[in-house]
Chains A and B, each alone.
Chain A
């Protein structure tokens, strides 16, 4: 069934979009990532104009995150306090990121910088996660008791606060900075930023894996909603028709994903996510390194 999208101005198969939304939704529910880093390139591939794909992707992330976070709230795996602290940095970061994006656009080369930042961040995070989670899996196989996290610089900063759900007593400065950094990146890369947020919460803040996913989803809702509004307001590139189809697929997928996430062990979840991240990274890197079939591209203005 073909459907014409009013803003993207192309006709696409409705079931293809539902399927895409569903696939990304499952991953979102399982890993707590918004799935934007997968959704955006997939939308490019089926012929949605990049500007529309990025803006509409953030709108879809709102829906799947709301759906996912409700499942997590029910299981009490959301650290609301930590989420709000991350969010305060995230919104400021997203606003700064939108300005940076506009600047990059004015000097050209925004595509390259977006792709490069994908490759760099996905590469670093994916590799680190893979090493860590393989190590963790080996340790759990040997039935060794998990090591209690050591105190690092994060624990020696002022303005300490108690985050009961995470079982942490740390300074609010690191979470605000993490939120800010992810906010900047998510605005530049057109994603929710969960794939950066999740590892940052585990490895920098030392939060338990159990609450990381729900808390990440919680703060992504607000950052993604803010970014959607900015795109709709400044670029008119949010396509409601496209969003509705992706959302319908996505919210169902997110529920399924959240349930799958409960069945498999946290270490396995992390290995899967790490492999996924590395895979997307390699795919993008190949695109930069191999001579493209078509050297020219057309950009329409206005």
Chain B
């Protein structure tokens, strides 16, 4: 009897201690269609904290990370040689996210502590890393440059305190997607933190795809490049001839 009670308490206690609180989340859309009039999009991420006992008395935080498909990139640095500025050093980096948006419910360092950030790769500087290069002394400068350039282009964003947290239970935020999106599967990670430690997470996906005419042209350009090229030329020649004829009639009449 005692044994049974022990086992039962163990069963109930373990999951309860591991996940006192659980995050449940949803998104306004899991498919972004890029058509001819696409000017960017907005994804609404919302959810709630599910708990079976009263909330503990520690700082609650929510982090939303939306990450685009990774790319291989070459980062080049200019230096002055013979009086002109030319590319001298270059570093190839594989697996750089094409898009990276972080939204938090408070100041980032308060919501996610350093250890949790390093382990779960939450912030953008944790998500990009390059191999040691013996010939380049300051690899970190190249990583910093990637982040700086992409932040400037609104491809990497950190919006602190942009998540509304209601009564320690309900949360929502809107993440802006710019128009220069790379196609592919985007990952949405949602973390629940207590005192900066991640206590629960949720992951879902958003697919970004070209549709309609955009899709057709893109496929034609890649699958039938010769026909695509001839089509481009045909349009150019017809347009040129058409304009000339139209103008001639116009100036006569």
Contacts and interface: CB of A to CB of B under 8 A. Distances in A.
Interface of A: 2-4, 6-7, 9-11, 47, 59-60, 62-68, 70-71, 74, 108-109, 111-112, 225, 228-229, 231-234, 236, 238, 240-241, 243-244, 247-248, 251-252, 254-255, 288-292, 294-302
Nearest to B98: A300
Given A67-B240, A109-B86, A240 B235 contact: yes
Nearest to B84: A288
Contact of B240 (A9, A62, A228, A240): A62
Q: Which 10 pairs show the lowest CB-CB distances between chains A and B?
A: A66-B240, A232-B229, A11-B179, A251-B243, A296-B145, A63-B236, A70-B244, A67-B240, A62-B236, A4-B38
Nearest to B243: A251
Given A111-B87, A255-B247, A301 B210 contact: no
A6 B213 contact: yes
Given A251-B244, A298-B74, A228 B229 contact: yes
A254 B243 CA distance: 9
Given A71-B247, A296-B75, 18 more contacts: A2-B39, A6-B218, A11-B180, A47-B180, A67-B244, A109-B86, A228-B236, A233-B226, A236-B221, A238-B232, A247-B236, A254-B240, A290-B85, A291-B80, A292-B85, A296-B145, A297-B149, A298-B74
Interface string B31-54: 000111111100000000000000
Nearest to A61: B236
A9 B243 contact: no
Contacts of B239: 63, 66-67, 244, 247-248, 251
A238 B180 contact: no
B3 interface: no
A296 B225 contact: no
A301 B237 contact: no
Contact of B217 (A6, A290, A294, A300): A6
A240 B239 CA distance: 13
B71 interface: yes
Interface string B65-92: 0000001111111111001111100100
Given A240-B235, A297-B76, A301-B72, A70 B241 contact: yes
Name, among B39, B237, B244, the residue most crowded by chain A CB atoms within 10 Å (CB to CB): B244
A67 B83 CA distance: 43
Contact of A295 (B36, B73, B77, B228): B77
B142 interface: yes
Interface residues of B, number: 62
A4 B34 contact: yes
A42 to B, nearest CB: 18
Given A11-B180, A59-B233, A295-B77, A112 B87 contact: yes
A291 B78 CA distance: 9
What does DSSP make chain A's interface, helix, strand, loop or mixed? helix
A71 B86 CA distance: 43
Contacts of A60: 236
B115 interface: no
Given A59-B232, A292-B78, A67 B243 contact: yes
Contacts of B38: 4, 11
Contacts of B85: 288-292, 295
B13 interface: no
Given A62-B240, A232-B226, A289-B84, A238 B221 contact: yes
B243 A296 contact: no
A62 B229 CA distance: 12
Interface string B106-131: 00000000000000000000000000
A9 B180 contact: yes
A11 B39 contact: yes
Given A67-B241, A232-B225, A297-B76, A247 B37 contact: no
Contacts of B5: none
29 contacts: A4-B35, A4-B38, A4-B39, A6-B217, A11-B40, A11-B180, A59-B233, A62-B233, A63-B236, A67-B239, A67-B240, A108-B87, A228-B232, A234-B225, A238-B221, A238-B232, A240-B217, A240-B228, A240-B232, A251-B239, A251-B243, A252-B243, A254-B243, A255-B244, A289-B83, A298-B74, A298-B75, A300-B71, A301-B74
